Amino acid sequence: MEERKSPPQVACPACGKLVAWVPGNRYRPFCSERCRQMDLGAWAAGEYRVAAVEDTDKLSDQES
Ligand SMILES: [Zn+2]
């Protein structure tokens, strides 16, 4: 019955702060909307860079 008083906690992927994993926390696993936005932005930037490099490599390979 102790689990009802202490919900599981996860570390925010953006800042490492411990966040209570509860249905009321709409930003989980992040601690706040700011951290969620930061992480999404970093992920999108990384994906874009990888995709661009891969695309350029394929193009040059086909032309030569
Ligand atoms: Zn955070």
**What pLDDT digit, counting tens, does each position of 35-57 carry?**
999 877 777 777 666 556 566 66
At 39, the amino acid letter reads D
At 22, the amino acid letter reads V
Task: Name the residue with tokens 């008083």.
Answer: 5
pLDDT higher than 70, residue 60:
no
Domains in the chain: boundaries: 2-63
Q: How far is the CA of 35 from the centre of ligand 1 (A)?
A: 5
8 A C-beta contact, residue 9 and residue 18: yes
Closest CA to 42 of 52, 32, 34: 34
Q: How far is the CA of 1 from the centre of ligand 1 (A)?
A: 29
pLDDT higher than 70, residue 8:
yes
pLDDT at 55: 63
CATH topology for 2-63 is Erythroid Transcription Factor GATA-1; Chain A (3.30.50)
